Amino acid sequence: MGVEFSKTLSATVTPIPGVVLFHLPVHGDNRGWFKENWQRKKMTAAGLPDFGPVQNNISFNETAGTTRGIHAEPWDKFISVATGRVFGAWVDLREGPTFGAVFTAELDPSTAIFIPRGVGNAFQTLEDNTAYTYLVNDHWSSDAQSQYVFLNLADETVDIAWPIPLGNAELSLKDRDHPRLDAVTPVQPRKTLVLGANGQLGMALRAALAGHPGIEFATREEFDLRGPDAAAAGNWADYSTIINAAAYTAVDAAETPAGRPEAWAVNVTAVTALARIAVEHRLTLVHISSDYVFDGTSEHHGEEEALSPLGVYGQTKAAGDAVVATVPRHYIVRTSWVVGEGNNFVRTMAGLAARGVQPSVVNDQIGRLTFTRDLADGILHLLSTGAPYGTYNLTNDGDASSWAGIAAEVFELAGRNRSDVTGVSTKEYFRGKSAAPRPLNSVLDLAKIKATGFRPHPAADRLRDYVLDTLR
């Protein structure tokens, strides 16, 4: 009778970023052995990306020495041996500083390896009747195969020490003819798509990402998510991230018969289509939220506060937030009082100051300005640092102020008297006008995003620079 044995799960990082070697849980006795070949919960806890496999393939090789060429494929793979042994060789064929890096290892039924998209993999069987299996997170097709990147098995630069010399191995004709490393076109990183590219935030993202490879920008005219074929409009396997900077923001118009369905179409229906795309293709979705999802009765609003919108615009933004929260990889970035390129409150006040107008401005709505350059920087910080997914408040920092207080500051920066601005209540300002209800307190707690290492600039400093720039 055989002795019972058991082996626990462990993971080992390799010199190629993203490639992880696993020692699998194996349990055996006199009858044979059993292994946990794929166990999502345990393996993700041990360091395996939650890569969402959709297809399982098995490769059987009758004789030792069968060698399959170095192929980088447009999907992630989790590879393990069912029976026999293989020598595996992996070469980083992705664009970047580790292009050409090599890792080799012998795999048997007790080991497995995770290979991210763009890393070339090759196998040489060391025993007859060897079979290995692999999970992939996209469906094979002839179109997908056309995206493979190949490297010659005998490339002198990577110099793989094959246990069975290639002259004695079983190779396909194609694998013998693949290019050397200096002729390989590196696999490009997955792209980021920015929607709403001509809005205030979209323009700031254009500036922040100027010259950055792999970034695409689309206006609403170029990519309308409300169309029936929007989800099929692109090859989503080429993307990793969508930043949704598009929104319907006409707060008062949203209360009208014409504006209400438009607000719901842009802020909810289109966002639902985006969320579906993100879920189906395992994309990260960045979505911009608003202080209008709250009724403004709290002294300051944390990320976990219950949604309590007052008007149609706030209701559509709250509904969009609820949809995006169902996406496994999401950042909901909640902001307020946005200032960037184009028409906005600060630019309007600077224009009034220049013309000698003495405006009446609301003095009982309290909040902080958000300058789009900082909003863009904060979004890119969350993505680049891999901050935990979820909701983050993001405005500029410093003391809160009223709209009237900000207007007075603008007037002073423009060389006018602060007293030229008259403060009035929201009720008085909108008396006799058709207007959406506003939250009176829009101050957002910034502790969570600061804990990720991001430090928003003081609003007062950004306001001074913006006004002086506008007046030049």
Are the C-beta atoms of 345 and 339 separated by less than 8 Å? yes
> Are domains 5-183 and 191-471 of this chain identical in fold?
no
Rounded to whole angstroms, the Cα distance separating 385 from 436 reads 38
Structure tokens given for 159: 């110099």
- Provide the annotated active-site residues: 71, 134
Rounded Cα gap, residues 326 and 332, in angstroms: 11
Answer whether 421's CB lies under 8 Å from 345's CB. no
Q: Classify domain 5-183 by CATH number.
A: 2.60.120.10
Average pLDDT in the chain: 91
Element (H, E) at 12: strand 10-13
Domain residues of the chain, as ranges?
Answer: 5-183, 191-471
Judged against a pLDDT cut of 80, whether residue 432 lies above it is answered with yes
pLDDT tens-place string over residues 175-201: 899 999 999 999 999 999 999 999 999
Predicted TM-score (pTM) of this structure: 0.87
How would DSSP label each residue in 290-334? Answer: EGGGS-S-SSSB-TTSPP---SHHHHHHHHHHHHHTTSSSEEEEE
Q: Which amino acid belongs to residue 183?
A: A
CA 26 to chain centroid = 36
Percent over 70 (pLDDT), the chain = 96
Residues 6+ apart with CB under 8 A from 384: none
Give 1's pLDDT tier (boundaries 50, 70, 90).
very low
Q: Which residues contact 77 (CB under 8 A, 6 or more apart)?
A: 114, 115, 121, 134, 135, 136
CB contact set of 430 (below 8 Å; sequence gap of 6+): none
Q: Would you tell me how many other CB atoms lie within 10 Å of the CB of residue 368?
A: 26
* Third-level CATH fold of 191-471: Rossmann fold (3.40.50)
Q: Looking at residues 419-442, what average pLDDT do you find?
A: 93
pLDDT in tens, 274-318: 999 999 889 999 999 999 999 999 989 999 999 999 999 999 999
pLDDT digits 0-9 by tens, 224-258: 776 656 656 667 888 999 999 999 999 999 999 99
